[in-house]
């Protein structure tokens, strides 16, 4: 490896700050560039004024600078084929190509893969005609789940307790275009009851290494109330993922999915994320994502023991090995601070105070998501603003430290859940 290899991290959220933070500690001492990055990445990397979706600009920059590795964070550029464009220029990439990224980019494709691979999942049907979708919903058992087929920033899933709610969700997506072309086709699923867990695996297309378990909190308010968000916090490990469950997830979810993709001529390299629901009838896969979970990765990466870059390199090169991934015994918790009104409309440009005080709390690190440096001040620049994260000898310790750090931070109308990891702490 080159001395001080140049790494381009594509994205500007909490996931990308967490990746930059971890890579900055690597023994290779890589030079980090983030596009576009945020106020947090600016402290440890060079931020580029290029959007994560600016494929032309990113490819042009990469051709000129020839980074050692491009790490693509968000799903949108993966689904748009950024990996393919970079690889065509002889560049090394961590992140699946466009064909593989359909596992997240199209819920219809994902369901078809699961069905053919025999992966346990919710019963569902897909529709391109609004009339047929409404007829199906009227005959389905309630509650049911309506999902936009394409990308919708984590908000294209509506749990419908009543038929009126289901009809409204279908019409919002298919008629009123709430998610643009992503909602032109919808998937209607049976509602699964149980406890969710996130399992992520690194893969080079053949070999896979499962990462530490995590649980995300999707609803905006305490007690899992209110609308779904991109994620209000996470913790790792998730006790609901028992030692007995690990081999089951590997054999019934990851291995058959990768095998089915290979059967279709798709070699999946990068991270594959399985969102699981643990029901009374057994485990079901809710969804697949083609990238690191956000905020799950903020709770997972601090537990990673040693260098991250060799594992990312190995995925890109088809040389992944188990020994490249090791874990610390400590637990980790991440509390997401959001702008008031999120996931609906919210203000940007509010000054954030207390970041230094929070970072000085024991075992705490503050990952920036929707932030911007403006006139030497850090201001809000998104719905999810910060991921306040801490390690602890136990999950209770980690949660306590994360909240201790979050209490030091303030900005106008800041909101965060006060019950992160509540299920695990009840055990």
Segment 332-371, tens digit of pLDDT: 999 999 999 999 999 999 999 999 999 999 999 999 999 9
Q: What pLDDT was estimated at residue 154? A: 67
Same domain, 42 and 76: yes
pLDDT digits (tens, 9 = 90+) for 159-180: 999 999 999 999 999 998 889 8
Categorize the per-residue pLDDT at 2 as very low, low, confident or very high, splitting at 50, 70 and 90. Answer: low
Average pLDDT, the chain: 95
Same domain, 171 and 208: no
pLDDT digits (tens, 9 = 90+) for 234-262: 999 999 899 999 999 999 999 999 999 99
pLDDT digits (tens, 9 = 90+) for 358-408: 999 999 999 999 999 999 999 999 999 999 999 999 999 999 999 999 999
**Percent of residues, the chain, with pLDDT higher than 90:** 90
Average pLDDT on 1-17 reads 91
Burial (CB count <10 Å: 0-12, 13-18, 19+), residue 398: buried
Average pLDDT on 305-311 reads 98
Tell me whether the omega of the peptide bond preceding residue 395 falls within 30 degrees of 0, making it cis: no
Range of the domain at 138: 129-184
Same domain, 200 and 312: yes
413: CATH: 3.90.600.10
Same domain, 206 and 316: yes
Same domain, 313 and 199: yes
Same domain, 307 and 257: yes
pLDDT digits (tens, 9 = 90+) for 40-58: 999 999 999 999 999 999 9
Q: Evaluate if residue 153 carries a pLDDT over 80.
A: no
Q: How many whole angstroms separate alpha carbon 140 and alpha carbon 35?
A: 45
With respect to residue 114, please indicate whether it lies within any of the assigned structural domains.
Answer: no
Q: What pLDDT was estimated at residue 1? A: 53
Whole-angstrom CA distances from 158 to 189, 226, 321 are 10, 11, 39
What are the residue ranges of helices labelled H in 68-162? 75-79, 82-88, 98-105, 107-117, 130-139
């Amino acid at each position: 490896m080159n001395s001080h290899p140049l790494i381009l991290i594509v994205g500007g959220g909490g996931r990308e700050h967490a990746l930059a933070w971890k890579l900055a500690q690597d023994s290779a001492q890589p030079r980090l560039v983030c596009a576009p990055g945020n106020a947090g990445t600016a402290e440890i990397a060079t931020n580029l004024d290029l959007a994560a979706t600016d494929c032309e600009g990113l490819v042009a920059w990469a051709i000129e600078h020839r980074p050692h590795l491009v790490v693509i964070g968000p799903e949108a550029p993966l689904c748009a084929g950024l990996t393919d464009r970079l690889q065509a220029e002889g560049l090394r990439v961590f992140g699946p190509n466009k064909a593989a990224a359909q596992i997240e980019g199209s819920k219809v494709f994902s369901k078809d893969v699961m069905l053919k691979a025999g992966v346990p999942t919710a019963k569902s049907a897909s529709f391109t005609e609004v009339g047929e979708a409404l007829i199906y919903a009227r005959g389905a058992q309630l509650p049911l789940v309506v999902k936009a087929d394409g990308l919708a920033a984590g908000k294209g899933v509506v749990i419908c307790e009543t038929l009126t709610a289901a009809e409204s969700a279908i019409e919002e997506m298919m008629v009123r275009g709430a998610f643009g072309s992503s909602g032109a086709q919808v998937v209607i699923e049976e509602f699964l009851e149980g406890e969710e867990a996130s399992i992520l695996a690194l893969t080079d297309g053949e070999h896979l290494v499962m990462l530490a378990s995590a649980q995300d909190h999707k609803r905006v308010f305490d007690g899992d109330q209110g609308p779904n968000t991109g994620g209000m916090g996470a913790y790792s490990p998730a006790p609901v993922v028992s030692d007995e469950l690990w081999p089951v997830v590997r054999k019934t979810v990851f291995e058959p999915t990768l095998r089915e993709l290979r059967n279709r001529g798709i070699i999946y390299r990068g991270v594959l994320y399985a969102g699981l629901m643990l029901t009374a009838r057994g485990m079901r896969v809710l969804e697949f994502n083609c990238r690191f979970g956000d905020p799950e990765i903020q709770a997972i990466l601090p537990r990673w023991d040693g260098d991250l870059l060799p594992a990312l390199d190995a995925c890109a090169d088809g040389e992944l090995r188990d020994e490249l991934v090791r874990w610390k015994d400590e637990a980790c918790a991440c509390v997401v601070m959001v702008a008031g009104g999120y996931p609906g409309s919210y203000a940007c440009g509010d000054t954030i105070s207390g970041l230094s005080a929070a970072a000085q709390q024991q075992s705490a690190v503050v990952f920036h998501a929707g932030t911007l440096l403006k006139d030497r001040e850090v201001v809000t620049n998104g719905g999810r603003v910060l991921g306040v994260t801490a390690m602890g000898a136990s999950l209770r310790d980690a949660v306590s430290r994360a909240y201790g750090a979050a209490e030091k931070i303030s900005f106008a109308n800041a909101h965060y859940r006060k019950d992160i990891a509540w299920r695990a702490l009840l055990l």
